[in-house]
Structure 1
């Protein structure tokens, strides 16, 4: 069945309220289809074009010639044989599979003069960037395969704070050169970087500014390591991509993207060191891969603010399964640049260890965009620093409720710039260790809607917050918390159902606040196990909660 027909069928079932039975089963049985590239068996060894694995010779011209020649002959395989291959930027071509042998290290040079300034994309906006170590635009049928290592030499590009290094690491870094900030707390790669940091609008193109105007700040425009734009039938398989200057893998406006058994390794303190960012792409499979990232691990995006809304290209029809994420800011993430929307995304059988947040969904006012039809099951988490699951529409800022406990002020108008999170279906999450099990925090003018979380266990310090939300369903959930006063905090939220909730020692089961808090149901739950059942405040009526005694 086609993706379109499947999507329509799912939508009909969801509208009919059949998620827990028919819709859930149907959605997982009819996953999106992703087409893989197919290549001729013809193989070109880069040695044929004069490449040398001596760690000294810059092989940029040799490798690019091999890629271009392979494409010109109708495609095939470009072989990177065992050895250390120093190179500058490489440009992919259609119908070419660049195969990095198991014992090969493709090392990108730290000579920044080899990377010219180009018009690229940064965090959802068109912007000046240094040319990516590997790039491709408007291509069909491309791949990077093998079990070798691709290293971006990112440490020469990134700034870093002193508090993110040991004393010995800091002293070694300062001795290598660069610039230390006036307060002695940060290190920058060069004065060129500092100039870009201090110049408003650095990197902006337009209003009379051209790329050349940004030459004085060249070092500031750190490249993403692998950038593929508007490409179809893409395969990344087996390789290790590590030490990126910024994002490691960035796919933009691509279709039929497969990422299998890839390893991404960025230092935990690598600035903007995302593992993979899939932006405005459709028909995507990410499976069997491992991400150890300095920022978000597996991230879904679709452009930022008005620019993203004008592009109008959601990321859709995505399968993410059998992956492991270490020490990232988020294990699986949507946002915050999601202005084109995201939909029909299926995440299953993933493990997150030591990430800041497990499942992370973030946006803010001004983004716009709709994120919907997100299906998640069988997620294991360990040693999460903050929330196991986070829905946050105040990314980058504080909600009014953080300061005054509950906010009943007049809401701002809903416009095309108002983001929307809705129709998330989460089943079988087990979290062993986190600061908080669940945070749902919507906007007063646009609450988070239709969140279903079932059959899950959270061993955390704190329980759950439900703030500015509607149609929230938690069923068969066990909370094991240390600070449970309250276990569940509800602010200005309505149509919230808790069905068969179990918990450990709890002082206060519910704290309910705000005049908008209504129709909160507690079903099949023994509320007598808590020292106190409920506390009402800030205008919440006692009639707001009904159900188990």
Structure 2
């Protein structure tokens, strides 16, 4: 999914979705945007968006523009316009009590491709009938205001002259009053702008006869589309409907985006959006607050009067916010024509009675299949997921035929439900059950899958039936109820009695455990820093949880590298490779937590190496013997926390203070005051081709290198006593933390080259993000900065967006750069320029990302 999606463009408006794959309805942080003409780069409009989906008005037809937002740019061209008609210039008046005749004549006279414009003010009108090729645009200060006089509303017959369904009511062909905006057999219609369509439900008597008829007709909707194609509704607010708010039937290729749909919470049957017998309908960034279901997907029903006869297929609901409704997304009860291919992704539901509800009953027939709900949050939703084959609708709804739990013969009127998936869902303050599935004994619900679902409960909840059916026991704080339903659930976490834990805890504990169980030594068993990353992660998880499995994994892996005499596989002290020191931290830790002497023997050899390890004249160690006179940020983490940890464990205070001094010296040598970041490396001799001849620094910033330095800072802060050195490192961390917070992506991660969002091909890199998350979280735990929120956001962004599924179906942490360095390596010269860092291989599940990820996860667990 691209960072900027062009959802819709008219001659004078445009609607975008930005960073929608990492956000829900609201962006995690507001993002500034700027719109300019492409040819002159002259600013046309600018602002700040708090929402994932937003619109821009006031554009010129057939003009090239460029949107810049969050370091991304997008070019587009507005549509041409055959005519522009301001209703005020065509007989409509703000003083008129009913402008319908003047507006309708203007619509009828306009050519295809024209724009009908409503300027600021309240435009009172009876029903209007739209035609093909029309764009209706409402100024942000305009209100199209439905009049109260029912006698001025035309009535749509149940069927047209060809016998096709025209008027409808709850899935049946019935006469109904025309809606404020009605389109029949039309195509290429757009309703745009920032104004309000107020259909007048609170005026007149509409809400007083909600299940009845007047003059033989049912109540109108706000927007009604019958047999239309290519319909777009963007930017407007639809409110105060006499009945359902937006109701397309037999309509194809419809987009509704950046729209508010709202009605009085006590208003009867004011569903928000009811696609019925429709195909290819997209809902993006809609805010619902209504008196009934927010979204009700329907497909007609079997009825003696004759129901709508057609399927509903391919419905996508993304980045929407649903509140106060009876249901968030509801399928049925009118579903006789079948409903299939519904996706609900990255949505938020708050204070709705149900989250996703599928409701049907014997006599309906039809098939509900291929429903996916993923990456959604729910709060104070009474029952998050319910599927009910005993819904007691219609006059016979509570009859034995509908409610009997005895099997009935299977026929064309037997409803079917199958292939429903819920994954990566968080539901807080649940009242009844986490999920409830009630299938027919003669036709059980098939193939329901629930994955990565975390549920917490409302403390003041009262027991009530989770579905609307007879003979259902009241439930409070229940789990997954399945009667005549095949449900497979994995990683479902129930948080009870005030317990707190990350919603992803169980999934990630399993991932870390499987990773450690399957891990193979990075360099064939030779001592190396890569294995040291795993050791750090296992130690952190053990200290956070106390679970023996992490200790057992650690001992098994370390003992495969260090024999009983303390000899380390492949270790050559004379290589003076600072990378090899990192694994020594596990040796020190195990020496303190076991009686096995091998660990102290091996650790002593590493201390001896550091005593002889060459240094640059400014103090820090060379990175490696084959990288003379060079200090790399990586090396600060590889060697210095070990030095301090060894010093504390074995009464060598000189090593502790030496580590602090060397870290501060290394940070000073690599610090770039202009960017307020640290360069990857420093050449004391200023002899390397990549080194600046004045500063000795490498050309660019690499996020993982800075990540190593950040982890070195917080680890030494933990080990150092109060004093000037510790204070100086805290000050360094605080400055870096502030700078890094400004460089995050929209979802809270960091780029491979952190200060170059404009660099083509730059990407959110997982190992650096994990390192920074760890540093922020640990600094907060050490009480040296209030930074936990940044760390948690980064960590959760990794869980949500960086994990992939490999060819074997296993979860893997993706987008980890394998390695990056400076100078010659494997026949390649690494020049350290920003572009170079984008050429290195990306390896999923590389330990240099997984180890820090484990460490960050442990910090979160330690906070519980």
Q: Same fold (TM over 0.5)?
A: yes
1:300-311, aligned counterparts within 5 Å?
Answer: 300-306=297-303, 311=308
2:173 & 2:404 partners in 1: Cα distance?
Answer: 38
Instruction: Choose which of 332, 335, 338 in structure 1 pairs with 2:332.
Output: 335
Shift in Å at residue 316 of structure 1? 0.7
Name the counterpart of 1:117. 155
Matched, 1:42 2:83: yes
1:24-35, aligned counterparts within 5 Å?
Answer: none
1:86 & 1:397 partners in 2: Cα distance?
Answer: 37
CA contact (8 A) 2:360 2:388 kept: yes
Name the counterpart of 1:87. 125
Q: Which has the higher strand share?
A: 1
Secondary structure of 1:394's aligned partner: coil
CA contact (8 A) 2:172 2:306 kept: no
1:337 & 1:153 partners in 2: Cα distance?
Answer: 26
Instruction: Choose which of 200, 218, 230 in structure 2 pairs with 1:153.
Output: 200
Secondary structure of 2:192's aligned partner: strand
Matched, 1:359 2:399: no
Name the counterpart of 1:474. 489
Name the counterpart of 1:130. 177
1:453 & 1:296 partners in 2: Cα distance?
Answer: 23
CA contact (8 A) 1:82 1:102 kept: yes
Matched, 1:457 2:458: no
Name the counterpart of 2:107. 67
Shift in Å at residue 111 of structure 1? 1.1
Name the counterpart of 2:408. 412
- Cα deviation 1:502-529 (Å, max 9, x = unaligned): 9xxxxxxxxxxxxxxxxxxxxxxxxxxx
**Which is bigger in relative contact order (C-alpha 8 A, separation at least 6)?**
1
Secondary structure of 1:449's aligned partner: strand
TM-score calculated relative to the size of structure 2: 0.43
2:308 & 2:347 partners in 1: Cα distance?
Answer: 31
User: Relative to structure 1, is the Cα distance of residues 501 and 443 closer, same or farther in structure 2, using a 3 angstrom cutoff?
Assistant: farther
- Cα deviation 1:208-267 (Å, max 9, x = unaligned): xxxxxx63x66xx21111100000000010100000000000000001000010100111
User: Relative to structure 1, is the Cα distance of residues 396 and 306 closer, same or farther in structure 2, using a 3 angstrom cutoff?
Assistant: same
Secondary structure of 1:132's aligned partner: coil
2:423 & 2:305 partners in 1: Cα distance?
Answer: 31
2:263 & 2:368 partners in 1: Cα distance?
Answer: 28
1:100-249, aligned counterparts within 5 Å?
Answer: 100-119=138-157, 120-156=167-203, 188=208, 193=209, 197=212, 215=215, 221-249=218-246
1:411 & 1:421 partners in 2: Cα distance?
Answer: 16
CA contact (8 A) 1:88 1:115 kept: yes
Secondary structure of 1:154's aligned partner: coil
Name the counterpart of 1:392. 388
1:159 & 1:142 partners in 2: Cα distance?
Answer: 28
Shift in Å at residue 408 of structure 1? 10
1:450 & 1:158 partners in 2: Cα distance?
Answer: 46
1:132 & 1:307 partners in 2: Cα distance?
Answer: 25
Shift in Å at residue 138 of structure 1? 0.4
CA contact (8 A) 2:438 2:485 kept: no
Shift in Å at residue 62 of structure 1? 1.3
Larger Rg: 2
Secondary structure of 1:66's aligned partner: helix
Matched, 1:433 2:429: yes
Secondary structure of 1:98's aligned partner: strand
With 94-103 and 427-436 compared, the bigger mean Cα shift is at: 427-436
Q: Which has the higher helix share?
A: 2
Name the counterpart of 2:23. none
Shift in Å at residue 467 of structure 1? 3.5
Paired residues in the alignment total: 390
Shift in Å at residue 61 of structure 1? 1.0
User: Relative to structure 1, is the Cα distance of residues 430 and 308 closer, same or farther in structure 2, using a 3 angstrom cutoff?
Assistant: farther
1:49 & 1:100 partners in 2: Cα distance?
Answer: 16
Shift in Å at residue 469 of structure 1? 2.8
2:139 & 2:391 partners in 1: Cα distance?
Answer: 42
Name the counterpart of 2:418. 422
- Cα deviation 1:288-323 (Å, max 9, x = unaligned): 110101101012111012579975421111211000
Secondary structure of 1:68's aligned partner: helix
2:259 & 2:387 partners in 1: Cα distance?
Answer: 28
Secondary structure of 1:367's aligned partner: coil
Instruction: Choose which of 127, 135, 146 in structure 2 pairs with 1:97.
Output: 135
User: Relative to structure 1, is the Cα distance of residues 237 and 408 closer, same or farther in structure 2, using a 3 angstrom cutoff?
Assistant: closer
1:408 & 1:44 partners in 2: Cα distance?
Answer: 60
CA contact (8 A) 1:95 1:142 kept: yes
Secondary structure of 1:64's aligned partner: helix
TM-score calculated relative to the size of structure 1: 0.67
1:397 & 1:126 partners in 2: Cα distance?
Answer: 18
Aligned-residue RMSD, C-alpha: 2.7
Shift in Å at residue 117 of structure 1? 2.3
2:343 & 2:146 partners in 1: Cα distance?
Answer: 34
CA contact (8 A) 1:39 1:96 kept: no
Shift in Å at residue 157 of structure 1? 5.1
Matched, 1:53 2:94: yes
Which ranges of structure 2 fall in alignment gaps of 5 or more residues? 1-77, 158-166, 458-475, 499-505, 510-864
CA contact (8 A) 2:134 2:189 kept: yes
2:454 & 2:290 partners in 1: Cα distance?
Answer: 26
User: Relative to structure 1, is the Cα distance of residues 111 and 312 closer, same or farther in structure 2, using a 3 angstrom cutoff?
Assistant: closer
Shift in Å at residue 413 of structure 1? 0.7
1:469-508, aligned counterparts within 5 Å?
Answer: 469-481=484-496
Shift in Å at residue 501 of structure 1? 13
Shift in Å at residue 76 of structure 1? 1.5
2:245 & 2:230 partners in 1: Cα distance?
Answer: 20
Shift in Å at residue 383 of structure 1? 1.2
CA contact (8 A) 2:324 2:351 kept: yes
- Cα deviation 1:392-451 (Å, max 9, x = unaligned): 1111269xxx9xxxx996411111111111001111110111212111111111111100
CA contact (8 A) 1:140 1:232 kept: yes
